[in-house]
Amino acid sequence: MDRSRSDVLIMGGGVIGLACALYLLKAGASVRVLEQGLPGNGASHGNCGTITPSHAGPLTMPGMVGTALRSLLRRDAPLYVNPRPDPARARWMLDFARHCTWRDYHYAGAARGALLNRSRALLGELIADEGMACEFEEVGELYVYRDGRTMQGDRPHVELLRRLGMDVRVLKGDDVLALEPALRDGVVGGLLHPGDARLRPDRYVAELARRVRELGGAIETGARVDEFVFDGERISHVRTTGGVFSGDRVVMALGAWSPLVGKLLDIRLPMQPGKGYSLTWDQPPERVPTHSLVLREAAVCVTPWVSGFRLGSTMEFSGFAEGLNPIRLDALRRGAATYLHEPEGRGEMVPWWGWRPMSVDELPIIGPSTRWSNLTYATAHGMLGISMSAATGELVANLLAGPAPVLDPTPYSPSRFDL
């Protein structure tokens, strides 16, 4: 028996790779996950942990290109594009700009909304059925505004969600303050998304890994993908720093690293790493918000848990530049201080950065490759990997092991990029 062989070989041990592994195992497949570090150490670890059907609206909307260009002069802008020359990023930005139309906004919004709604429905069941201890709470998310123009500018967001049948409630400033006493005066209004939820993302990923192992899946750590061996149009073996492995099917769930590994497959994935930051305290403040918050003008996400408190968000396009940027971290703290009586938690504070896998059309890439006969993609989830994880795992398992998918996979198909 070849112990290095599995029915399905999954490249990537983040939230998407592990969710795919879990659903495939439940469908009866044998699974091996290849992870270059430890499970969930990438963008799955330090994000805000919100489950947000409310984030169906993509970044691709008219006016976004102007916002990005203005950010060239502001290193602390919520959306920052590093001005240093980068041909690959410039091509991506031009293609992204072509998608910034109302037609593409509504198309991507509907497709993202379908995946998000399905995932939201599955997550509660998955966490309960698999006994996952990850501080899952169905508390809703609240967008907070201190400028009426910003709130007015978010009307397309409200209209899109209502068109998709999602519950979004427009609140006046006094109603927002009554709902969240942790907020400072000066709030002019808010949007309440009752269907949203939250969890501790690091614990959710750890619980996914635990269940994958308990169901017989293998997780190879320290296994960075270095080379592929081909048999015609089929991937025969995957060489890694942890050994050589093979699978009847191969799944690419590498997040932001997908385009780098794609080069080894002679594939150019239309993706860029979008760098995000967070600050996490091991205790919440005394005046802690009830809901997860999005502080709109500052573009700061606030996530309170029983076990901690996190400020996060920002989007920085700087290629694969590593490391913490103090200017970006300071912007998180300043933004939160404008809105909250107690903008920081208590105890030890841990800063974090990670790359989000951003596709050029703001839709994930899920489905069979047009180039390699046994390759399936599950990548490019942007800022929504946690939110889309369960539905992506289910969809990949449906495509590889049946039954027929509940979701229409067409909008996410790699064939739209001839991949």
pLDDT tens-digit readout, 277-309: 999 999 999 999 999 999 999 999 999 999 999
| Region 5-417: CATH code | 3.50.50.60
Measured CA to CA, the distance from residue 1 to residue 264 in angstroms comes to 29
Backbone angles phi, psi at 29, to 5 degrees: -85, 150
Q: Give the model's pLDDT for residue 69.
A: 66
What is the mean pLDDT of the segment spanning 178-204? 97
How far is CA 32 from its chain centroid?
Answer: 22
User: What is the Rg, in whole angstroms, of the alpha carbon atoms belonging to the chain?
Assistant: 21
Residue 167, token pair as written in the block: 């519950």
Measured CA to CA, the distance from residue 395 to residue 372 in angstroms comes to 19
* Of the candidate ranges 303-307, 310-314, 381-385, the one whose mean pLDDT is the lowest: 310-314
Q: Do 102 and 366 meet the contact criterion of CB atoms below 8 Å apart?
A: no
Closest CA to 393 of 20, 24, 7: 20
Band of pLDDT at residue 32, cut at 50, 70 and 90: very high
What is the mean pLDDT of the segment spanning 2-24? 93
Closest CA to 258 of 359, 352, 354: 359
Question: What residues does 274 pair with on adjacent strands?
Answer: 356
Q: Do 372 and 265 meet the contact criterion of CB atoms below 8 Å apart?
A: yes
Q: Give the model's pLDDT for residue 1.
A: 42
Q: Give the model's pLDDT for residue 43.
A: 67
pTM summary value: 0.95
| Whether the predicted pLDDT of 3 surpasses 70 | no
pLDDT in tens, 109-137: 999 999 999 999 999 999 999 999 999 99
pLDDT in tens, 399-408: 999 999 999 9
| Whether the predicted pLDDT of 360 surpasses 70 | yes
Measured CA to CA, the distance from residue 368 to residue 366 in angstroms comes to 7
| Secondary structure tally for the chain: helices H, strands E | 12, 19
| Amino acid identity, position 408 | D
pLDDT in tens, 130-175: 999 999 999 999 999 999 999 999 999 999 999 999 999 999 999 9
Q: Give the model's pLDDT for residue 71.
A: 65
Closest CA to 245 of 229, 264, 267, 266: 229
Band of pLDDT at residue 354, cut at 50, 70 and 90: very high
DSSP tag of 341? S
Mean pLDDT over the full length of the chain: 94
Helix (H) or strand (E) run with residue 377 in it: strand 375-379
Could you please report the per-residue DSSP string of 184-221? PS---EEEEETT-EE--HHHHHHHHHHHHHHTT-EEES
Q: Do 7 and 27 meet the contact criterion of CB atoms below 8 Å apart?
A: no
Question: What residues does 340 pair with on adjacent strands?
Answer: 183
Band of pLDDT at residue 318, cut at 50, 70 and 90: confident
Band of pLDDT at residue 184, cut at 50, 70 and 90: very high
Could you please report the per-residue DSSP string of 253-280? --GGGHHHHHHHTT----EEEEEEEEEE
pLDDT in tens, 224-274: 999 999 999 999 999 999 999 999 999 999 999 999 999 999 999 999 999
Residues 6+ apart with CB under 8 A from 254: 11, 12, 17, 225, 261, 379
Closest CA to 29 of 306, 281, 237, 215: 215
Closest CA to 54 of 200, 253, 204, 198: 198
What is the mean pLDDT of the segment spanning 329-358? 95
